[in-house]
A and B are shown apart, each in its own frame.
Chain A
Amino acid sequence: MKNTIKDIIKPYQGEKGSLIPILQAVQEKTGFISEDAISTIAMDMNMSEHEIYGVATFYTQFRYTKPGDHMVKVCLGTACHVRGGEQLLDRTENILNIKPGQTTLDSAFSLERVACMGCCALAPVIVVDDKIYPNVAGPKVEKIISRYSSSDEKE
């Protein structure tokens, strides 16, 4: 792990001001920001790991646990909110038994809340991996999720 993180941050050469691009690159390549990653970056940039954690946690884009196989995003943008996004999130939380930002124990799903996917006409929407599901009202969400868990089982 350490080596790959070193490889990822190598092009930045401990440049001051490149912390956020480094964090983004690490998240992109490894899926999340691990403790190891932060201590490696800290060493490289001669910063304290706490300082880096402070910077990273200011932004909502970074995650600190390994993401699940499928990323479930529930939109709470204005349009989705008005059309029942909250209830959709509640339902999804109940099905997966996790809160936004968490990953299920079997690491099959991660849940995130997002603010607007840019398709307000389809509200409320849920996005699994890169597929957008429109007008997800009522029990529809259960079907969508089960589609992913059963396909896993088949494989």
Chain B
Amino acid sequence: MLTIDGKEVDFKEGATVLEVAAANGIYIPTLCTYSGLLPFGACRLCLVKIENMRGFPPACTTPAAKGMKITANDLELNELRKNVLELILSEHPNSCIICDQKDLCGHYNICPTKSGRVTGCAFCPNKGGCELKQVTEYLGIKEIRFPFTYKNLPLEREDPFFDRDYNLCILCGRCVRVCQEIRGVGAISLTKRGHDTKVGTAFNKSHLDGGCRFCGACVDACPTGALSARGSKWHGIPDKVTTTTCALCSVGCSLKLETKWEKIVAVRPDSEGPANQGQACVRGRFAIPALVNGASRLKYPLIRRNSRLVPATWDEATELAAARLGKYLPGETAFLASPFLTNEAAYLLQKFARVCIGTNNIDTSSFFSGPVIQSRIKRSNMGDGTIEDIAKSGWIIVVGGDIAASHPVLTVKINQAKKRGAFVSLIGSKQNINSRLFDSCISVEPSGYFPLLAGILKIIVEKKGFDSKFVTSQCNDFDEFKNSLKEIDIKTIAGTCGISRDMIEKLTSTILPSGRGSILYGSKILECDDPMQIIGMLFNILLLAGSPAGLVPLMDGANSQGVADMGALPDFLPCYQNIADKDSLSTFEKSWSAMLPKKPGLNYPAILNAAVEGSIKALYVTGGEIPREISLERLDFLVLHDIYPSPLFETADIVFPAAAFTEEDGTITSLEQRVQRLQAGAKPVGMSMPDWTIICKIAEKMNVKGFEFSSASEVFDEICRVNPLISGHGIRDLKLKKKFTLTPVKKTVRSKKGVLHKKPLWHYRGFDLTEMVSDLKILHSKIFGG
């Protein structure tokens, strides 16, 4: 208990005076405090009076203590704060802040010239969101009694994505701290001292050279207009802000789309997002407007007439699609579901394939659909960790993935765990970004994963370092697993992958005493002979450490998970109901009131092979998921959903213009199996439509019942009815109460290598984002060369 302004309030141990005040609805002005950052005490605006304490301690750095008597607001404090703020304003262009005409001006003069520099009123890119202005208004400053000293620093715009005008900087240090404390990067710091202090880099390097990865966290943290996203700085206050989920990778960040003039003009991370909590990455923060507003977006359906693609109406195109698709035998038709489809679209696509065409030839091109899903089914869906689990881990291993490039927001969680003392190791090739993330790195090719992991397991068992209580009470088949390790010889491991016993022991010693851990595995494991086996071994490590919830697949597509959940798989119906199982088949036949094909269909590589050989005659592709080297000459009929012209246009017979993810409602499922909503921030470009609508329209033309939906949420309702895995939005219960099984370690040799569709690192629906967003290309070539 303590008192603030005469009000008695409770507080939590460890909270600061500022936090206690805020929690009890008492406002204390501050500029340098920022959610998630440690107290800094830079702006001196939160000065308060505390009985029996000398002077005016800052509320943000003073820990609350029992019995404190605090004065948070009175005349004397207000005068003091006014003085402090006037000093701050004497170095910040302030006509826009103290002018008595500012409201009128802000209302009418909303689109000033695109002068790159702030020179006076209405030229600041931070209109509407200026914290400095809010505090000035609160304190009621009408004039500034100090002479104005303009720093006249050059505008910094050499780097991609955002501009920096340090004439507007008030040195609150939020950008520096967010980069260091939350992102763990430290690409900027406060340099020099006194009047010369400036946020900068070592030896004035460019941000690009200095290791900045343009996540935009600093821009979001800036309380003034000093840092501003170049693409959107002059748009002013958006007309509409929509919360949606990012569909550019599988982390599932919640984003706020800012719409102006019916276009997405800017994107900011949502501080309430369960996966990202106010963080984003370069793609989510900066690439989306350029991606969805490109001039060459497809705006109307195209059909092939006299060997040329010509515009057509929706009626013409869907009728043609219905007529042509009906002509082929079910076995001659195949469907490819892009891992960027919404759950609704994926569900309807597989329903369409099975009900309208009568084929199970449907698969997704996601790297992960095969091994990850299979291993999960084998584990009865147990053992997967959530993103929050990563932050709470005592140890973390990243296997075969360039996580800081492919899933940057997860590094925020790794950084949180590191702060709590977690040891972070990397198995795989050296990372291109943020090498400070890892405490140790074992550099090994995918072919070496098996021997290395076998060695780790062997040493853990040999040293009896595992959590025996957990293993005996919760795991099956320990003896079989132990026996299978007999054949593993650590010495030969050193021979095959060049890893010494010492290195393996060092790694295991970081795992064993630390209890709960996480293992994040990326697409490189798919280059191993038997990815299933590798995943099994990774899970074994977690089980031996007594930490069953900790496997995190770094999936490539934004909705790889959801597309598989929805049954866009050749051998599974929605919710992983096996086609071969008569009961589940008849359940679906009943709920869809149709006869369903019983024979499992072709998987992704088999569909591609059959299309090349000619046994598949009609192919339905949603989003350019075909490797360029595949020749589709022998294909008779190709239907395409796309958002931009793609190389497949040469062969496509019908092209449907699809809406981008910012233009549609629906749901996607992230790598932690969290079902989250997409909400349209703008109307689909031109005549384009969401994927699920296109499928419904074709089904309607084929006179098939069961596709009469008027909104994505109606589709979602049907999904919830037939798919018990999905029962609404949010995270699925991943920790079912059942015994775990240790997988025996067995070396298998893959007889036939499947097609590994090499996709660009940053892609959306088969399009390389670096080709669409020029600044992204600059960043990409900086990181990866070329």
Contact = CB atoms under 8 A, between A and B. Distances in A.
The judgment on whether A and B are partners is yes
B193 A51 contact: no
A83 to B, nearest CB: 26
A73 to B, nearest CB: 20
A50 B193 contact: no
Nearest to A52: B202
Contact of A48 (B191, B192, B203, B436): B436
A55 B191 CA distance: 7
B187 interface: yes
Contact of A35 (B180, B191, B202): B202
Contacts of A54: 176, 189-191
B202 A38 contact: yes
Contacts of B210: 49-50
B180 A48 contact: yes
12 contacts: A38-B202, A48-B180, A50-B187, A50-B200, A50-B202, A50-B211, A53-B203, A54-B176, A55-B189, A57-B192, A57-B193, A64-B203
B201 A50 contact: yes
B193 A48 contact: no
Interface string B431-470: 0000010000000000000000000000000000000000
A57 B185 CA distance: 20
Interface of A: 35, 38, 46-55, 57-58, 64
Contacts of A58: 192-193
B188 interface: yes
A46 B190 CA distance: 18
Central interface residue in A48, A49, A58, by most chain B CB within 10 Å = A48
B211 A48 contact: yes
Interface string B164-192: 00000000000010001000011111111
A53 B186 CA distance: 11
B731 to A, nearest CB: 34
A53 B193 contact: no
Contacts of B189: 48, 50-51, 53-55
A51 B185 CA distance: 10
A53 B201 contact: yes
Contacts of A50: 186-189, 200-202, 210-211
B744 to A, nearest CB: 39
Contact of A47 (B186, B187, B193, B200): B186
Central interface residue in A50, A52, A54, A64, by most chain B CB within 10 Å = A50
A2 B669 CA distance: 49
A21 B176 CA distance: 24
Nearest to B193: A58
Nearest to B184: A48
Contacts of A48: 180, 185-187, 189, 211, 436
Contacts of A47: 186
A38 B201 CA distance: 12
A55 B210 CA distance: 16
Contacts of A49: 202, 210-211
A114 B190 CA distance: 24
B37 to A, nearest CB: 15
B34 to A, nearest CB: 18
A57 B193 CA distance: 7
A49 B186 CA distance: 8
A58 B196 CA distance: 10
B164 to A, nearest CB: 14
A35 to B, nearest CB: 6
A35 B211 contact: no
Central interface residue in B188, B191, B211, by most chain A CB within 10 Å = B191
A53 B211 contact: no
Nearest to B211: A48
A29 B188 CA distance: 28
A57 B203 CA distance: 10
A64 B203 CA distance: 9
Contact of A46 (B192, B202, B436): B436
Nearest to A59: B193
A48 to B, nearest CB: 3
A49 B211 CA distance: 10
A51 B180 contact: yes
Central interface residue in B180, B200, B202, by most chain A CB within 10 Å = B202
Nearest to A55: B189
A141 B399 CA distance: 66
Closest 4 CB pairs of A and B: A48-B186, A54-B189, A53-B202, A50-B189
Given A38-B203, A51-B180, A53-B189, 15 more contacts: A35-B203, A38-B202, A48-B185, A48-B436, A49-B202, A50-B186, A50-B188, A50-B189, A50-B201, A50-B202, A50-B210, A50-B211, A54-B189, A57-B191, A57-B193
B436 to A, nearest CB: 6
Contacts of B191: 53-54, 57
Contacts of A46: 436
Central interface residue in B180, B185, B186, B211, by most chain A CB within 10 Å = B186
A76 to B, nearest CB: 16
Nearest to B201: A50
Contacts of A52: 202
A54 B176 CA distance: 11
Contacts of A53: 189, 191, 201-203
B171 to A, nearest CB: 12
A49 B187 CA distance: 8
A37 B192 CA distance: 18
A150 to B, nearest CB: 35
A30 to B, nearest CB: 16
Interface in B46-99: none
